């Protein structure tokens, strides 16, 4: 698996994942879903990982916005979901990610616990932030990850300004996103 894909193991609502993938397979030219009023198209899938980018961002080696949906087979309860989120957090740290925030929302009688991580990666070629939501839906573990990148010599400075201006809004949107496909 390419380095980028190993970093971004996150962003999925199990109930909607089959609908998203079914729509993408039916008409690859149609958007699979909308996030923050932007249409996303399926670009790559393998096993339990699926990557989506907006129109005109087809190049998976040079994109600005990506949503990755991961399914976690065998993750079927809150304890396993928390363990998966912690494993991803450890993966981010081992790849020199700067953890910006972690949060967990406890389970209630009608909703399983959820977990959230935001992390920034600074590399010579780019700077990237990933917002990851881990959620059990119908006893199936998933992560939904929104990632944003800047390239070039000033990528880190651009990323810091972008996070200050947009970070809270993106986090809120991801945590509220229902993942519905467009009709």
For residue 167, which phi and psi values (nearest 5 degrees)?
Answer: -55, -50
The answer on pLDDT for 95 being more than 50 is yes
User: Is position 182 within any domain?
Assistant: no
Distance of CA 142 to the CA centre of its chain: 10
User: Is position 109 within any domain?
Assistant: yes
pLDDT at 2: 32
Domain count, the chain: 1
Secondary structure (DSSP) of 109-153: TTB--EEEEEEEEE-SSEEEEEEEEEEEETTEEEEEEEEEEEEST
Taking only the tens place, the pLDDT of each residue in 65-75 is: 999 999 999 99
Taking only the tens place, the pLDDT of each residue in 15-74 is: 344 444 444 455 567 999 999 999 999 999 999 999 999 999 999 999 999 999 999 999
User: Is position 86 within any domain?
Assistant: yes
Question: What CATH number corresponds to the domain at position 27?
Answer: 3.40.1000
User: Assign residue 112 a region: left if phi > 0, alpha if psi is -120 to 50, beta otherwise?
Assistant: beta
Mean pLDDT of the chain: 85
User: Is position 181 within any domain?
Assistant: no
User: Is position 56 within any domain?
Assistant: yes
The answer on pLDDT for 85 being more than 50 is yes
Domain that holds residue 15: 3-176
User: Is position 183 within any domain?
Assistant: no
Taking only the tens place, the pLDDT of each residue in 11-22 is: 333 334 444 444
Mean pLDDT of 157-173: 97
């Amino acid at each position: 698996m390419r380095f980028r894909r190993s970093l971004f193991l996150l962003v999925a609502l199990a109930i909607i994942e089959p609908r998203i993938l079914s729509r993408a397979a039916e008409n690859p030219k149609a958007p699979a879903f909308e996030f923050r009023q932007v249409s996303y198209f399926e670009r790559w899938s393998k096993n339990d990982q699926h990557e989506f980018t907006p129109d005109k961002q087809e190049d998976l080696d040079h994109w600005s916005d990506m949503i990755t949906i991961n399914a976690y087979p065998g993750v079927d309860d809150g304890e396993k979901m928390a363990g998966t989120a912690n494993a991803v957090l450890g993966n981010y740290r081992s790849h020199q990610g700067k953890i910006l925030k972690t949060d967990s929302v406890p389970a209630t009688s009608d909703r399983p616990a959820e977990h959230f991580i935001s992390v920034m990666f600074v590399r010579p070629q780019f700077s990237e932030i990933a917002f990851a939501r881990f959620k059990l839906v119908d006893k199936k573990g998933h992560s939904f990850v929104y990632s944003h990148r800047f390239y070039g010599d000033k990528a880190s400075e651009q990323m810091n300004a972008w996070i200050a201006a947009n970070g809270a809004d993106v986090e809120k949107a991801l945590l509220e996103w229902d993942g519905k496909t467009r009709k």
